[in-house]
């Protein structure tokens, strides 16, 4: 049994389709009203059919009150980390401390290159991400007067840190391969894999790699939140969780109690699925975890 002492959370992953903007906004507002903890969006600036995710998050900060807002995950090759740090700090201020940061090393490199980004190898992507985390954290540290950073991918010369964020913003990494898992353990605040890329049987080994890297870095593995993007559909056995809404809580509670996963983010496009997840699955899962 893995117990990292993290509070159980539930959220949604909404596709930011541009020609359905009113529906996207309404789903986010509904999640807020229903008491979910997280509303997240993918970030693909090269996708012409999607809304710009940062513009969307900023607008949602004004029409929600409690839900935390995050990219799941930000496209680092097209989001310079120094500017990204300012964007997150600004969003955190606008939303009264409700911003979080998901980060990835990059994928869909042809699309990234088409938008002016540099096409990297997977190894280069991990190295760039490691530097980016250092740059972002340095620019959030308002205890220092200026930031200087000399890396292979990023150079910062005398930038002033700030603005001060209302709360410590979490950095969550979408990680699957050994080097990314090690980076998660060494530097991140959260791990956010997805069903289909890391199914439940694969989670223990990957989580153990994170724990090992955290200890090697002198960190407590319990500092790292374990989030999970769910791709399940109620009434289907083709993905995970499987079955009807009544079948989901037992599966999620088992994953929580046995592997320490603590945040469940469901990919949704339908208001009825959103309500069932918030009103049926989430409370029943909490009851089972509390009993366990």
Inter-helix orientation angle 81-94/53-63, to 10°: 10
pTM over 0.85: yes
* pLDDT single digits (tens) 85-94: 999 999 999 9
* pLDDT single digits (tens) 211-246: 999 999 999 999 999 999 999 899 999 999 999 999
Q: Is the pLDDT of residue 74 over 70?
A: yes
User: CA–CA distance from 104 to each of 154, 175, 183, 246 (Å)?
Assistant: 16, 7, 11, 33
| DSSP codes, the chain | -----PPPEEEEEE--BGGGHHHHHHHHHHHHHTT-SEEEE---TT-TTB--HHHHHHHHHHH-SS-EEEEEEEEGGGS-HHHHHHHHHHHHHHTTS-EEEEEE----HHHHHHTTPPP--HHHHHHHHHHHHHHHHHHH-TTSS-EEEE-SS-EEEEEPP-PPPSS---EEE---SHHHHHHHHHH-SEE--BTTTS-GGGHHHHHHHHHHHHHHTT--GGGSEEEEEE---TTBSSSSS-BSGGGHHHHHHHHHHHH---EEEEEE--HHHHHHIIIIIHHHHHHHHHH-
Strands 147-150, 171-173: pairing kind: unpaired
What average pLDDT is seen over the chain?
96
Res. 277 pLDDT band, cuts 50 70 90: very high
* Mean pLDDT value across residues 104-114: 90
* pLDDT single digits (tens) 180-199: 999 999 999 999 999 999 99
Q: Is the pLDDT of residue 202 over 90?
A: yes
Res. 1 pLDDT band, cuts 50 70 90: low
* pLDDT single digits (tens) 27-62: 999 999 999 999 999 999 999 999 999 999 999 999
Q: What is the pLDDT of residue 157?
A: 97
* pLDDT single digits (tens) 239-272: 999 999 999 999 999 999 999 999 999 999 999 9
* pLDDT single digits (tens) 124-169: 999 999 999 999 999 999 999 999 999 999 999 999 999 999 999 9
């Amino acid at each position: 049994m893995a117990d990292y002492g993290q509070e159980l959370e539930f959220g949604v992953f909404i596709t930011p389709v541009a020609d359905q903007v009113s529906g996207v906004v309404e789903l986010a507002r509904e999640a807020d009203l229903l008491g979910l903890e997280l509303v997240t969006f993918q970030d693909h600036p090269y996708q012409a059919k999607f809304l710009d995710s940062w513009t969307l998050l900023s607008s949602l900060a004004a029409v929600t009150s409690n839900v935390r807002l995050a990219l799941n995950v930000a496209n680092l090759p097209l989001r310079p980390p120094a500017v990204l740090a300012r964007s997150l700090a600004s969003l955190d201020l606008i939303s009264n401390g409700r911003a979080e940061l998901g980060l990835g090393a990059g994928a869909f490199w042809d699309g990234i290159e088409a938008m002016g980004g540099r096409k990297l190898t997977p190894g280069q992507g991990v190295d760039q991400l490691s530097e980016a985390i250092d740059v972002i954290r340095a620019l959030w540290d308002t205890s220092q007067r200026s930031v200087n950073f000399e890396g292979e991918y990023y150079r910062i010369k005398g930038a002033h840190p700030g603005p001060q964020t209302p709360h410590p913003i979490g950095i969550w990494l979408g990680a699957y391969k050994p080097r990314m898992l090690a980076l998660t353990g060494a530097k991140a605040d959260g791990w956010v894999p997805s069903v289909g890329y890391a199914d439940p049987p694969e989670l223990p080994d990957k989580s153990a790699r994170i724990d090992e890297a955290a200890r090697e870095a002198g960190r407590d593995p319990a500092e790292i939140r374990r989030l999970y993007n769910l791709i399940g559909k109620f009434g289907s056995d083709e993905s995970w969780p499987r079955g009807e809404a009544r079948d989901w809580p037992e599966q999620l509670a088992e994953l929580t109690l046995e592997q320490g996963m603590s945040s469940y983010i469901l990919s949704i496009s339908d208001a009825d699925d959103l309500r069932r997840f918030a009103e049926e699955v989430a409370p029943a899962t909490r009851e089972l975890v509390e009993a366990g």
